[in-house]
Amino acid sequence: MILAIDNILTPEELQFVVESLSQANFVDGKTTAGWHAKLVKNNIQLEKTSERSVELTDLVKAALERNLLLKTAVLPKIIHSILFSRYEKGMSYGSHTDNAFMGKWRSDVSFTLFLSSPNTYSGGELVVATMDGDRSYKLEAGSAIVYPSSMLHRVEPVTEGARLVAVGWIQSLVRDPSEREILFELDTVRRSIFAKEGKTLEFDLLSKTHSNLLRKWAD
């Protein structure tokens, strides 16, 4: 399941992040890519060890953690390895797959949080390869695409302007995307029943099934 989540950041947070990044020092992105992804990675990114990176990482992580849609669809165990990347004119990231592990954490879900307004740059779409063709994404600033880390993906060349994003990886409580999808749908239905009718017997039974499956599938 590929999911678009709008307004992860408030306008104030977005402005803060973008302003902070405008004064930052960016380095070659190849330093954090796997040995094969390095061959096609052509961007620059905020130095991970800088104080600014730690501050912005905490901000983005907190924004993702408070988002209910992300919580129910992704079931995060930990949001790890956030990077702030910049693609200037001519930069791109060719087709690749993300490493299964980053340090000790597994990458089950990848995300791109768009930080530049789409009308400030040309090209730079995130393209995810699905069984029925390529899907192309270029969201409003502050919104994110969330997709299984198992999928091939790329960033199209930027032809004008600059594309600023925060990308990162999540280890989910449930590694299998199809199991996550079942849990997400059950959770969505039970919340909808609760909103309409309150804590009915149907709500209780769906909650029981959701909890029992989560217990069964979580690692």
Ligand X SMILES: O=C(O)CCC(=O)C(=O)O
Single out the residue of 112, 116, 143, 171 in contact with ligand X (rule: CB under 6 A). Answer: 112
Single out the residue of 21, 155, 170, 183 in contact with ligand X (rule: CB under 6 A). Answer: 155
Other Cβ atoms within 10 Å of 60 Cβ, number: 23
Q: Coil, strand, or helix at residue 66? A: coil
> Interaction with ligand X in 77-96: which residues (CB under 6 A)?
85, 93
Minimum CB–partner distance for residue 167 and ligand X (Å)? 4
Minimum CB–partner distance for residue 36 and ligand X (Å)? 12
- Of 81, 1, 99, residue with least CA distance to 41: 99
DSSP H or E run through 108: none
Residues 6+ apart with CB under 8 A from 164: 18, 21, 84, 85, 86, 115, 116
Other Cβ atoms within 10 Å of 157 Cβ, number: 17
> Interaction with Fe ion in 97-116: which residues (CB under 5 A)?
98
Give 67's DSSP letter. Answer: -
Of the candidate spans 22-30, 79-87, 95-103, 180-188, the one that interacts with Fe ion by CB under 5 A turns out to be 95-103
Q: Compare residues 125 and 187 and give the one whose CB is closer to ligand X.
A: 125
How far from 105 is each of 11, 100, 187, CA to CA, in Å?
31, 9, 26
Interface with ligand X, residue 141, by CB under 6 A = no
Determine whether the annotation assigns residue 52 to a binding site: no
Interface with ligand X, residue 167, by CB under 6 A = yes
Single out the residue of 46, 76, 98, 143 in contact with ligand X (rule: CB under 6 A). Answer: 98
The interface partner of residue 126, options being Fe ion, ligand X, none and the CB cut-off 5 to 8 Å by kind, is ligand X
Interface with ligand X, residue 70, by CB under 6 A = no
- Of 42, 76, 39, residue with least CA distance to 60: 76
Interface with ligand X, residue 166, by CB under 6 A = no
Q: Are 67 and 25 in contact (CB under 8 A)?
A: no
Interface with ligand X, residue 5, by CB under 6 A = no
Joined tokens for residue 148: 């299984």
Q: Are 177 and 95 in contact (CB under 8 A)?
A: no
Binding site for ligand X (CB under 6 A): 85, 93, 98, 112, 126, 153, 155, 165, 167
Output the known binding site: 96, 98, 153, 163
Output the known binding site for 2-oxoglutarate: 163
